[in-house]
A and B are shown apart, each in its own frame.
Chain A
Amino acid sequence: MHKKGIKVALFSVFLTIITVLSGCEPLLVLDPKGPQAERQASDILLSIGLMAIIVIVVFALLVYMLVKYRASKQKPDYEPPHIEGNLWVEVIMVGIPVLIVAFLSFVSVQSNYIVEAKPKGYEDTKPLVVYASSSNWKWHFSYPEEGIETVNYLYIPTNRALEFRLYSHGPITSFWIPQLGGQKYAMADMVTTLHLAADVPGEFMGRNANFSGKGFAENTFDVTAMSQDDFDDWVKEVKETAKPITEEKFEELLEPGHLGRQTYTGTHLEFSPPPTGHNHTEESTETHETESHTDSNTGHEGMSH
């Protein structure tokens, strides 16, 4: 039974690894297209490597003990000895993990400051600011400097810092474009900032990663990265062709449900500014503007029927 069990177990591990590896395309997170995602992928691979060593040591020790000290290998009259701890063994047992964890902590702290800052390599570029706000179950992207707004799709220039200001018109959501970088929450009472950048043009998957109710699974958006010139052309085209976003129209957009892609000139920020409260990161002078709160309230009321 044991032998057979082990064989089946090994085989299933093997099968799993194979299917995973042969998943043809590389896993999204490990196929980064921007500096932040790159740093995260390299942290992930580094920690997998270090952790693999620990796993192998534990597995090897376990197999060794089980093979060497099983009762069937021992004389029938063998009496295992009484052994208390040993100081040196304990020092090693604590010391090596402490070293590994200290090293990983060091890397982790470094990475924290990297992913929370302007993306490496694009420090000198002027960041494109995009307000990404979620409502059940859509994403609204406002480009205040360009004066345009889209729903459920995001066009971005490559080789330039991107600064996403995130907030929500409803439940907590999480803005995530795996190939450009990890996620961050969008909440109703504050604006959070996520720094990203794209190195190459391409189409990427973006989604809300945080459960937000019935329509959560389909709460996705398409991301297209293009050269700055193409981006400028697109902005110009939008300004020429799209209709302006009005307060009325925006209320309509906030109604729960799914919408396809939409494009507007102007942004909803003008009549429905983002929340100002409890901002942890920047400019957090707690001036509770009741006005902005009432504004976002009207949004909610629109959603609750």
Chain B
Amino acid sequence: MDFFDRFAVPHPSIAIYASMAAIGLTIIAVIAGLTYFKKWGYLWREWLTTVDHKRIGIMYLLSALLMLFRGGVDAIMMRAQLAVPDNTLLDAQHYNEIFTTHGIVMILFMAMPFIMFFMNFVVPLQIGARDVAFPRLNALSFWLFFMGAMLFNISFVVGGSPDAGWTSYFPLAGNEFSESVGTNYYMIAIQIAGIGTLMTGINFITTILKMRAPGMTLMKMPMFTWSALIANVIIVFAFPVLAVLLAMGTLDRQFGTHFFTMDNGGMDMLWANIFWVWGHPEVYILILPAFGIYSEIISTFARRNLYGYKSMVGSMVIISLLSFLVWAHHFFTMGQGALTNSIFSITTMAIAVPTGVKIFNWLLTLRKGKIVFTTPMLYSMHFIPLFTLGGVTGVMLAMSAADYQYHNTMFLVAHFHNVIIPGVVYAMLAGLHYYWPKMFGFMLNEKIGKRTVWLLSIGFILAFMPMYASGLDGQARRMYTYSEAAGFGLMNMISFVGAAIMAIGFVLIVYNIYFSTRYESRDISNDPWDARTLEWSTHTPVPEYNFAILPDVESNEALWDAKKNGHVLFKGDYEKIHMPNNSGIPFIMSCIFFVWGFSFIFSLWIPVIVTTLGIFGCMALRSFEQDHGRYISVKEIEETETNLRGA
């Protein structure tokens, strides 16, 4: 009995039982559907074993959208709970679990895979490559991320969710104050996903440095590729820190060490320090690729080259360096004294300068342009003003003495949503609309798309602007309720209305996908937006080898050169193309990792040992496997090309 007790949710409620039932039914429905339509083979051959960067990208996208809705439901529940004073919709424990999972899901399992989707789908196409440098490693990255995310999500129905905040500060997250296995899920699930992310970093740095088309020097790379390169460099430096941190947390919780405990010389702020040494760079890992996407979109729809290419690159390099020098701004209030605070205050404010340079460059890209308001462009034009608001409130927070008043309040919550939603989320949605036709061969509906943008922005303003005020009025973050007398009622009610409007916006996006799948024209060109970079020079749908002939590049707008200046992109004849073989190992190994993680979380050591052997077995198998890939013959290429051209 004892053995099974540990898997029970410590604070069950109807919502949790309902979700258990829903999850169970969905799994049964999926299995039944796959069996009925005889799709098991298809699923295995075309998706589970694929090493194609485009398909891996699409799987990242699906996971990200799924997690967006999981995190979104958390968000709406929180806003509903706070909408009126002394509300009893959720109790403290549930509220704590929900804001914890909301933060982790949104940052690590929604935003991260979303940028991974863009990097996977776009970077090889943009640099004229046929795949990433290590395709199989790429598959492993995805499956590790996916299993990490799934493992984290089952915490909700098996054993209990973490409840110490996405920052998981010790000693609160230690055994003494977090008794359930929730925080073990945090440590292990993020660890597994994080290993995947680290491998992506290595993979994409190699890809971008080694696999660019002939003629594409570093300074002729499209801006998104630049942003991806820099983000991956940050990943390679930041994610090992996270790995070590989570390992230390695991040791403290499951093996009785004292890194962060209150007794025996443990230091509670050590966790906070190391967390933010990873955590601050992490927010730049998210925002830099978003900047890259905006750069592509703004220059495409201003019908102009990107203004200040060099300063765009330079500012990203400076941001990436500074991002490692500011972590202490997350705890100015730790009591480290005026000198330390002054240093971190200055480095933090310094980041605003290169960020500002980027904003001005985008504005100057619009100048003398011929601006067309498509949905992606509309997102970008909402991004500029809203993100500016978030950026300047960042500068306000960087004033350390004043931060004693903002810290831990709704003001801070307003700041980071104000940079992350217009900055990262809008970029993703803009990019989704922008790259949709390249992925699926039809456009998303523009009219629904534009309405969505307005709805999201109106909802955003209503939801988050009042938080600046309620923060200054003394509303701390992470409070599950407040009294009538506190006087935050009206502001929180407006926030709730805003959040509900945003929710409608997100539902509209799903509706748009459904609507467009049914009704939008399939008769579109390879370059429906009249864009400027290489990814639009290949066919839609993109053949598995991406480019029959590797393109020849002379500037950072190779396709535009071809369209306007008579530059010839594809010279020479077809040659046989070397492609990697599919492999089931990444998927199987990640499944074993899932079981490993689950067993670890519940301290079931025998399965941990067995699965550890399994993981090493997979690695050994891979090492001794002779697989030199395969060739696509000239004849096959010719067939594919004529088919695609005819279509």
A residues neighboring B (CB under 8 Å): 1-2, 5, 8-9, 12-13, 15-17, 19-20, 23, 25, 27-30, 37, 39-41, 43-44, 47-48, 51, 54-55, 58-59, 61-62, 65-66, 69-71, 74, 78, 80-85, 89-90, 93-94, 97-98, 101, 104-105, 107-109, 111-116, 136, 166, 170-172, 174, 176, 178, 181-185, 187-190, 192-193, 205, 207-217, 277-278, 280-281, 288, 293, 296-297, 300, 303-304
What CA separation (Å) do A304 and B179 show in the bound complex? Answer: 10
Decide if B401 touches A174 in the complex (CB within 8 Å).
no
Q: How far is the CB of B381 from chain A (nearest CB, A)?
A: 7
Decide if A43 touches B357 in the complex (CB within 8 Å).
no
Decide if A90 touches B308 in the complex (CB within 8 Å).
yes
Which B residues are CB-close (under 8 A) to A214? 92-93, 96
Decide if B450 touches A1 in the complex (CB within 8 Å).
yes
Whether B389 sits at the interface, judged by CB under 8 Å, is: yes
Contact of B392 among A12, A51, A70, A193 (CB under 8 A): A51
Top 5 A-B pairs ranked by shortest CB distance?
A: A182-B404, A192-B335, A111-B401, A5-B454, A51-B392
> Of B396, B399, B407, which is in contact with the most chain A CB atoms at under 10 Å from its CB?
B399
Whether B176 sits at the interface, judged by CB under 8 Å, is: yes
Contact of A213 among B177, B371, B408, B461 (CB under 8 A): B177
**Looking across the interface, which residue of chain A has its beta carbon closest to that of B303?**
A80
Decide if B461 touches A13 in the complex (CB within 8 Å).
yes
Which B residues are CB-close (under 8 A) to A209? 407-409, 476
Q: How far is the CB of A188 from chain B (nearest CB, A)?
A: 4
What CA separation (Å) do A235 and B363 show in the bound complex? Answer: 64
Q: B262-281: contact bitstring with A at CB < 8 Å (1 yes, 0 no)?
A: 11111111001000000000
Decide if A66 touches B366 in the complex (CB within 8 Å).
yes
> Of A13, A37, A43, A296, which is in contact with the most chain B CB atoms at under 10 Å from its CB?
A43
Decide if B396 touches A89 in the complex (CB within 8 Å).
no
Q: B134-151: contact bitstring with A at CB < 8 Å (1 yes, 0 no)?
A: 000000000000000000
Decide if B334 touches A192 in the complex (CB within 8 Å).
yes
Decide if B363 touches A65 in the complex (CB within 8 Å).
yes
Decide if A51 touches B396 in the complex (CB within 8 Å).
yes
> Of A8, A90, A111, A211, which is in contact with the most chain B CB atoms at under 10 Å from its CB?
A211
Whether B480 sits at the interface, judged by CB under 8 Å, is: yes
Q: B467-489: contact bitstring with A at CB < 8 Å (1 yes, 0 no)?
A: 00100111011111110000100
Which A residues are CB-close (under 8 A) to B465? 13, 16-17, 20
Contact of A19 among B309, B334, B384, B490 (CB under 8 A): B490
Whether B398 sits at the interface, judged by CB under 8 Å, is: yes
A-B contact count (CB 8 A): 329
What CA separation (Å) do A92 and B45 show in the bound complex? Answer: 56
Decide if A27 touches B458 in the complex (CB within 8 Å).
no
Which A residues are CB-close (under 8 A) to B352? 97, 101
What CA separation (Å) do A71 and B310 show in the bound complex? Answer: 27
Which B residues are CB-close (under 8 A) to A178? 405, 474
Which B residues are CB-close (under 8 A) to A25? 487
Decide if A85 touches B307 in the complex (CB within 8 Å).
yes
Supposing A9-B458, A23-B490, A171-B171 touch, asked if A304 and B346 sit within 8 A by C-beta, the answer is no
**Looking across the interface, which residue of chain B has its beta carbon closest to that of A17?**
B465
Decide if A28 touches B474 in the complex (CB within 8 Å).
yes
Which A residues are CB-close (under 8 A) to B371? 65-66, 69-71
Count B-side interface residues using an 8 Å CB cutoff.
105
Whether B372 sits at the interface, judged by CB under 8 Å, is: yes
Can you list 6 A-B pairs, Cβ within 8 angstroms, ordered by A? A69-B366, A78-B370, A108-B342, A116-B341, A211-B408, A293-B264
**Looking across the interface, which residue of chain A has its beta carbon closest to that of B451?**
A1
What CA separation (Å) do A280 and B332 show in the bound complex? Answer: 13
B residues neighboring A (CB under 8 Å): 92-93, 96, 163-165, 169, 171-172, 176-177, 262-269, 272, 302-305, 307-311, 331, 333-339, 341-342, 345-346, 349-350, 352-353, 356-357, 359-361, 363-364, 366-373, 381, 384-385, 388-389, 392-393, 395-396, 398-405, 407-409, 447, 450-451, 454, 457-458, 461-462, 465-466, 469, 472-474, 476-482, 487, 490-491, 494
**Looking across the interface, which residue of chain B has its beta carbon closest to that of A113?**
B338
Which B residues are CB-close (under 8 A) to A93? 311, 356-357, 360-361
Which B residues are CB-close (under 8 A) to A1? 447, 450-451, 454
Contact of B481 among A43, A98, A183, A217 (CB under 8 A): A217
Decide if A80 touches B408 in the complex (CB within 8 Å).
no
Which B residues are CB-close (under 8 A) to A84? 305, 307-309
> Of B359, B389, B401, which is in contact with the most chain A CB atoms at under 10 Å from its CB?
B401
Which B residues are CB-close (under 8 A) to A9? 454, 457-458, 461
Supposing A112-B338, A280-B335 touch, asked if A58 and B401 sit within 8 A by C-beta, the answer is no
Decide if B341 touches A29 in the complex (CB within 8 Å).
no
Decide if B331 touches A108 in the complex (CB within 8 Å).
no
**Looking across the interface, which residue of chain B has its beta carbon closest to that of A171?**
B172
Supposing A98-B353, A211-B477 touch, asked if A47 and B396 sit within 8 A by C-beta, the answer is yes
What CA separation (Å) do A213 and B385 show in the bound complex? Answer: 37
Supposing A44-B402, A111-B401 touch, asked if A185 and B363 sit within 8 A by C-beta, the answer is no
Decide if A97 touches B356 in the complex (CB within 8 Å).
yes
Contact of B405 among A23, A40, A66 (CB under 8 A): A40
**Looking across the interface, which residue of chain B has its beta carbon closest to that of A214?**
B92
Decide if A114 touches B401 in the complex (CB within 8 Å).
yes
Q: How far is the CB of A100 from chain B (nearest CB, A)?
A: 8
Which B residues are CB-close (under 8 A) to A78? 370
Which B residues are CB-close (under 8 A) to A280? 335-337
Extra A-B contacts (9), CB below 8 Å, given A37-B405, A192-B334:
A82-B304, A104-B349, A108-B349, A112-B338, A171-B172, A193-B335, A205-B474, A207-B474, A213-B96
